């Protein structure tokens, strides 16, 4: 399968940068074999009385209601009520085009508070940062001041949501991607405060994830990041995540990886692991006709859709039902995973 970042990494300068990072993180992996204390923030979220859980997943949305963002939000409210969702997950790129300027940026209300108004969506939102969010004031999105503006909002770089049946590991994927740091043609500026020195930041993150995975006793493990590991969309696969994050997912029996970044909806399986790769990046502006099904040489794609929409998850200890919806709330694709059989049905 073609890796979307391969062309961008063709220059000798960027290849050397990737090799340097690779050597550093590979050495770090070996060091992580000793016991460590995990440092990621952990949030406990209760399940329903019947020990079930339901939530929505939306990505790449914050456009002040334009590009059908309001229409998608309306359908989210309808489905959210039907499923009695416990929370909402955002896969990043929360505010276009360049994140927030400050905690007082009106875009927060105009793209979030004033859009997702349905009663069923007045639940906790768990959000990660996308690359567009890093173009603005990152600390503004992370600030507790925003939670005083809208109590639903919770955004951190990397963190964990623990329930009685599911652990969700939220991973800050943007700092993994070399082109944001190395590409001389990259026209945007990024707020790397809190990330530099980059090698140390990534090594610490991998160490903490490794420790948290090892300590997890949940029956289900999901991981959320902005960038795709497997995708047939515009951006495609993220080679850095395949190299540094995917091995952790495989080693620790992660069930699902969820992302945004590509402005579409996707469900891709794998020929060499049991992970389900789900893209929910259709929260507003979609890229019609920008899918590459011809690159699915191993026929692992279960579902591809180049329009707007979102997804839902309903689960208990034994099974999880994943459903994708379009901008009109129509069911496009569903998939059941049985935990008893450790395989998709």
Give the residue numbers marked as catalytic: 235
Confidence of residue 72 (pLDDT cuts 50, 70, 90): very high
Give yes or no for residue 159 having a pLDDT over 60: yes
User: In the predicted model, what is the mean pLDDT of residues 125-139?
Assistant: 98
CA distance 259 to 114: 24
pLDDT digits (tens, 9 = 90+) for 48-67: 999 999 999 999 999 999 99
Summarize pLDDT for 257-296 with one digit per residue, the tens: 999 999 999 999 988 889 999 999 999 999 888 899 999 9
Predicted confidence band of residue 39 (pLDDT cuts 50, 70, 90)? confident
Please say if the pLDDT value at position 129 is more than 80: yes
In this predicted structure, what is the pLDDT of residue 3? 29
pLDDT (mean) for 237-260 = 98
Domain annotation for the chain: domains and CATH numbers: 7-344 (3.60.21.10)
CA dist 202 and 217 (Å) reads 25
Residue that wins the pLDDT comparison between 134 and 187 = 134
Could you tell me the two tokens for 118? 């349905």
Contact 149, 108 (CB under 8 A): yes
Distance CA 317, CA 219 (A): 7
Query: Is pLDDT of 341 > 70?
Result: no
Residue 133, φ and ψ in degrees, nearest 5: -65, -30
Span 35-41, average pLDDT: 62
Instruction: Tell me: pLDDT of 250 over 90.
Output: yes
pLDDT higher than 50, residue 314: yes
Q: How many CB atoms lie within 10 A of CB 215?
A: 12
pLDDT computed for residue 185 by the predictor: 61
pLDDT of residue 32: 34
In order of 170, 315, 333, the CA distances from 265 in angstroms are: 19, 20, 10
Confidence of residue 246 (pLDDT cuts 50, 70, 90): very high
| Binding-site residue set for Fe cation | 60, 93, 96, 131, 226, 261, 263
């Amino acid at each position: 399968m073609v890796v979307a970042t391969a062309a961008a990494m063709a220059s000798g300068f960027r290849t050397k940068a990737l090799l340097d990072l690779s050597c550093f993180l590979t050495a770090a992996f070996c060091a992580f074999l000793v016991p460590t204390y995990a440092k990621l923030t952990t949030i406990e979220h209760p399940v329903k009385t019947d020990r079930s859980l339901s939530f929505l997943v939306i990505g790449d949305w914050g456009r002040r209601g334009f590009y059908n963002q309001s229409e998608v939000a309306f359908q989210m409210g309808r489905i959210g009520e039907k499923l009695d969702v416990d929370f909402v997950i955002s896969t990043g790129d929360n505010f276009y085009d360049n994140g927030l300027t400050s905690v007082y940026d009106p875009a927060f209300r105009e793209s979030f508070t004033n859009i997702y108004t349905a009663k069923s969506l007045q639940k906790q939102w768990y959000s990660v940062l996308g690359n567009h969010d890093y173009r603005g004031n990152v600390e503004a999105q992370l600030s507790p001041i925003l939670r005083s503006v809208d109590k639903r909002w919770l955004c951190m770089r990397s963190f964990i949501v623990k329930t009685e049946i599911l652990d969700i590991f939220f991973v800050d994927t943007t700092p993994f991607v070399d082109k944001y740091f190395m590409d001389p043609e990259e026209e945007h500026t990024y707020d790397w405060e809190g990330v530099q020195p980059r090698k140390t930041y990534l090594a610490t993150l991998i160490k903490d994830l490794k420790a948290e995975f090892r300590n997890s006793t949940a029956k289900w493990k999901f991981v959320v990041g902005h960038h795709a590991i497997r995708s047939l969309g515009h951006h495609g696969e993220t080679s850095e995540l395949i190299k540094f994050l995917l091995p952790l997912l495989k080693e620790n029996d992660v069930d699902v990886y969820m992302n945004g970044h590509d402005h579409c909806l996707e469900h891709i399986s794998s020929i060499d692991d049991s992970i389900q790769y789900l893209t929910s990046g259709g929260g507003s502006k979609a890229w019609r006709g920008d899918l590459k099904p011809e690159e699915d040489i191993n026929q692992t794609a279960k579902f591809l859709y180049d329009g707007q929409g979102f997804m839902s998850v309903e689960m208990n200890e034994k099974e999880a039902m994943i459903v994708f919806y379009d901008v009109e709330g129509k069911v496009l694709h569903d998939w059941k995973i049985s935990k008893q059989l450790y395989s998709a049905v």
